[in-house]
Amino acid sequence: MDSEYAIEAEGLRRVYRTRTGWIRPRRETVEAVRGVDLTVRRGELFGLLGPNGAGKTTTIKMLNTLLIPTAGTARIRGFDVVRETREVRRRIGYVFGGDRGLYDRLSALDNLRYFAELYAVPAREQRHRIAELLELVGLTGRERERVEGYSRGMRQRLHIARGLLHRPEVLFLDEPSIGVDPVAARELRRTVADLAANGTTVLLTTHYMAEADELCDRIAVIADGRIQALGTPAQLRRRADGRRVVEVEAYGVPATALTALRDLPGVRETALEERGALQLLTVQSDAGVDVQGDVLRELAGVRLGRVNSREPTLEDAYVAIVNAA
Amino acid sequence: MTTLRLIGVGGLLAYRALFNWTTPAMYVGTLLAGPTFQLLFFAYLGRQLGVADDGFFILGNAVLAASSACVFGGTMAVANERRYGTLGHVLLSPRSRTVIFWGRVLPYAGNGLLIAAFTLLMGTLMLGLRIPPAALPGIALALAAGSLACGFFGLTLGALGLRFRDVWVVSNVSAALLLLLTGVNVPRENLPPWMADIGQFLPITHAAEAARLLAAGHGLASAAPALGTELLVGAGYALLAAVLLRVFEAESRRRASLETR
């Protein structure tokens, strides 16, 4: 099969049905993905962004054969993810973030040796391929240590090496930089960019807008199980064109103040991000309206830190898209 | 060749990755000392009650000794994937599930054979049992058959772990049932018929019978039917495990019933 697209999805839906309790069972139905259509070209680095519970991981799991779609179809390099699972699995790699997903008692080397067997890497290639990947992810010299002693960044790099063992044509990266320190995250981005530059198709989910902005050729924003916006980072940023952003560091913004801010003339979006004790309040407004004074007035009595007015970023566009969903 | 590698190299790596009792303290305490003391307990109890001679308990408990490592090991071979969050990566393998998981049983069976041989040695030394040297190869065969059958029985329980979170409850109950129903410590003719009938379908029942026949000086020909039946029971569980793994994997894709990340 020689499709132009590495990934194709049409009308992808997934419904979860849960049952809790034995005597009086309670059944719940959750529609996690509600009709996703997307195509990813070969060699493209495609970002899938969305808030928690938006349907990102479910979409990836349908694309990588771990879940069967309730409706719709998907193909990887032309192979159907439901009927031709073996062909699909030969061509994909899957990496997810976090501490789990590795055999803690084994060394990195033995983890890679085992997954090389599972992913059918020919025996004569294994030694060279594993050495090459350890070098790529910067674990050469530490490969004989047990994984249980690894830092999260080292584990994440090992996840990447594992995902690349069989030279997958399509790589799914599900929040790979979660919990990784800035230096390791930068290394990770460089590795991912190199992979895409060498022809690997990458589907990346992340919460870090800067990461998506820097890496992705195109981005889809998913919320409420549907793709809400799709385009290049520049195209998505233009969603916030004609806006101005005021950022305020604050401590203990009351809910009433937030409501009042939303009702101010010219205000388009507000978002409050918790950063430990500190809160970062972001207010997007029409560019022609100066809301800074009004914002500070509504926050009278609240302890404030730095106040900043700036041009909108991809993150602001993302917030606008998600809030509109 | 690649299939053999997956069974051999893959099986050994999976054993080191997933078997909880590989540290020296756990291995010696759980798999060597525990079964030896259990053997002594039942042998002395048997003497007290006049149920059977020492040989009955030594051979029965030697065969039973393999079951802890094999039944729990077989269960760990699948269920511990959940613990490490590696199940999704295993399920994404394009290789045959049957080969992957059957390959995992072999190191447990080998381990079970070693433990059974050690328990037999300790029993014979401590209780003074004499086994004809000519019977030893046949007894080793019986212990190996019992270990293999136990491993596949454990794998079947492990497969249930793909569907039911509390699979260790099933493993614990199964270990107790092996003690009760297989005739290793209670002569099967003394059991209620329905219990003895269930025992026919459990691993180690026929291996214990074969080992006792061989130790009593009967030739391999006399023990062959029991040995063959033990292998047949093992093959049955191997098949059942393969079917359950396939069914539960398919179900997990439909119902999202597995934690695959």
Dist CA B129 CA B65 (whole Å): 18
With b meaning 16 or more CB within 10 Å and e meaning fewer, what string describes A279-291? bbbbbbbeeeeeb
Residues A112 and A219 in one domain: yes
Q: Which domain range does residue A317 map to?
A: 238-324
Q: Considering only the beta carbons, identify the residue of A17, A61, A162 that sits closest to B260.
A: A61
H/E stretch holding A75 reads strand A71-76
| Nearest C-alpha neighbor of A115 from the set A158, A157, A65 | A158
Q: What is the pLDDT of residues A219-259, one digit of tens each?
A: 999 999 999 999 999 888 887 778 888 999 999 888 888 88
Residue numbers in A near B100 (CB within 8 A):
118
Q: Which residue has the tokens 């005597």?
A: A23
Residues A211 and A314 in one domain: no
- Cβ B149 vs Cβ B207: under 8 Å: yes
What three-state secondary structure class fits A72?
Answer: strand
Chain B contacts to A (CB-CB under 8 A): 1-2, 5-6, 9-10, 13-14, 16-18, 22, 84-86, 88-95, 100, 252-256, 260-261
pLDDT band at B123, cuts 50/70/90? very high
Residues A248 and A220 in one domain: no
- Cβ A220 vs Cβ A321: under 8 Å: no
Q: Considering only the beta carbons, identify the residue of B85, B100, B252 that sits closest to A118.
A: B100
Determine which of B81, B86, B99 to mutate to test the interface with A (most A C-beta atoms within 10 Å).
B86
Residues A151 and A249 in one domain: no
pLDDT band at A2, cuts 50/70/90? low
Q: B233 CB contacts (<8 Å, ≥6 apart)?
A: B149, B201, B202, B203, B205, B206
- Cβ A158 vs Cβ A139: under 8 Å: yes
Which whole number is the average pLDDT over A35-52? 93
Is the model's pLDDT at A182 over the cut of 90? no
Phi, psi angles (nearest 5°) of residue A137: -95, 5
Q: B211 CB contacts (<8 Å, ≥6 apart)?
A: B59, B62, B63, B139, B142, B143, B146, B223
Is the model's pLDDT at B168 over the cut of 60? yes
Q: What is the pLDDT of residues B189-199, one digit of tens each?
A: 999 999 999 99
Q: For chain A, give the percent of residues with pLDDT over 70.
A: 99
DSSP structure class, residue A107 = B
pLDDT band at A208, cuts 50/70/90? confident
Q: Which residue has the higher pLDDT, A186 or A103?
A: A103
pLDDT band at B106, cuts 50/70/90? very high
pLDDT band at A288, cuts 50/70/90? confident
* A192, A207, A231 - which closes a domain: A231
Is the model's pLDDT at B153 over the cut of 60? yes
Q: Considering only the beta carbons, identify the residue of B1, B256, B261 that sits closest to A101.
A: B261
| Length of chain A counted residue by residue | 325
Residues A191 and A97 in one domain: yes
CATH number at residue A307: 3.30.70.1150
Q: Chain A residue with minimal CA distance to B99?
A: A118
Tokens standing for residue A59: 């979409």
What confidence score (pLDDT) does residue A1 get? 56
CA-to-CA separations, A239 to A9, A230, A235, B76, B100, in angstroms, rounded: 25, 11, 7, 52, 50
Which whole number is the average pLDDT over B150-166? 89
Q: Chain A residue with minimal CA distance to B19?
A: A105
What confidence score (pLDDT) does residue A321 get? 85
Residues A215 and A133 in one domain: yes
Residues A218 and A299 in one domain: no
Average pLDDT over all residues of chain A:
89
What confidence score (pLDDT) does residue A96 get? 84
Q: What is the pLDDT of residues A60-90, one digit of tens each?
A: 999 999 999 999 999 999 999 999 999 999 9
Q: Chain B residue with minimal CA distance to A103?
A: B17
What confidence score (pLDDT) does residue B259 get? 66
With b meaning 16 or more CB within 10 Å and e meaning fewer, what string describes A158-181? bbbbbbbbbebbbbbbbbbbbebe
Q: B105 CB contacts (<8 Å, ≥6 apart)?
A: B11, B74, B77, B148, B151, B152, B154, B155, B238
Which whole number is the average pLDDT over A136-150? 91
* A197, A231, A265 - which closes a domain: A231
Q: Beta partners for A14? A: A33
Which whole number is the average pLDDT over A306-325? 84
Residue numbers in B near A110 (CB within 8 A):
13, 16-17
Contact A90 B84 (CB under 8 A): no
pLDDT band at B78, cuts 50/70/90? confident
Residue numbers in B near A162 (CB within 8 A):
89
Within 10 Å of residue B12's Cβ, how many Cβ atoms? 17
What confidence score (pLDDT) does residue B35 get? 93
Dist CA B147 CA B111 (whole Å): 8
Residues A282 and A200 in one domain: no
Q: Which residue has the tokens 């230096």?
A: A183
Count of domains forming chain A: 2
Residues A199 and A246 in one domain: no
Instruction: Indicate the residue type of A70.
Output: T
Contact B94 A113 (CB under 8 A): no
Residue numbers in B near A94 (CB within 8 A):
88-89, 92
Closest-CA distance of chain B to residue A61, Å:
9
Contact A118 B9 (CB under 8 A): no
Is the model's pLDDT at A25 over the cut of 70? yes
Is the model's pLDDT at B261 over the cut of 70? no
Phi, psi angles (nearest 5°) of residue A70: -70, -35
What confidence score (pLDDT) does residue A325 get? 72
ipTM at complex level: 0.89
CATH number at residue A166: 3.40.50.300
Residues A221 and A244 in one domain: no
Instruction: Indicate the residue type of B196.
Output: A
| pTM for this prediction | 0.86
* A193, A208, A231 - which closes a domain: A231
Dist CA A305 CA A296 (whole Å): 11
Is the model's pLDDT at A179 over the cut of 80? no
Residue numbers in B near A100 (CB within 8 A):
84-86, 261
Q: Worst-scoring range by mean pLDDT, A13-17, A182-186, B99-103? A: A182-186
Residues A285 and A191 in one domain: no
Closest-CA distance of chain A to residue B71, Å:
21
What confidence score (pLDDT) does residue A161 get? 92
Residues A219 and A246 in one domain: no
Closest-CA distance of chain A to residue B13, Å:
6
Average pLDDT over all residues of chain B:
91
